[in-house]
């Protein structure tokens, strides 16, 4: 009788690096999404007059939330 063995499966250095890079990318993506959501919420609470002082209309809020707004 012979025994079958499976090859040792372990992450290579480059595999571990790719995995850690993926984890960092996911974390950064989550942080960016939270920042966008926070900007959107803050902008959506402003009155039309306050938005106008910033040079925005209600229709501009999604774009400003994603792209950012200097000084906000």
- Binned at pLDDT 50, 70 and 90, residue 16 comes out as confident
Q: What is the pTM of this model?
A: 0.70
Check pLDDT > 70 for residue 30. Answer: yes
Residue 42 clears pLDDT 70, i.e. is over it = yes
Cα dist from 44 to 12, 26, 60, 62, 65, whole Å:
48, 27, 10, 9, 10
Residue 26 φ/ψ, nearest 5 degrees: -65, -45
Q: Give the residue-averaged pLDDT of 20-24.
A: 95
Q: Where are the domains of the chain?
A: 23-67
Does residue 32 carry a pLDDT above 80?
A: yes
Among 27, 56, 30, smallest CA distance to 44 is for: 56
Q: How much is the average pLDDT of 8-14?
A: 63
């Amino acid at each position: 009788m012979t025994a079958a063995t499976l090859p040792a499966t372990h992450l290579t250095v480059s595999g571990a690096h790719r995995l850690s890079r993926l984890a960092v990318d996911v974390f950064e993506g989550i942080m960016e999404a939270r920042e966008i959501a926070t900007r959107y919420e803050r902008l959506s609470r402003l009155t039309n007059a306050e938005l106008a002082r910033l040079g925005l209309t209600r229709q501009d809020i999604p774009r400003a939330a994603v792209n950012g707004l200097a000084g906000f």
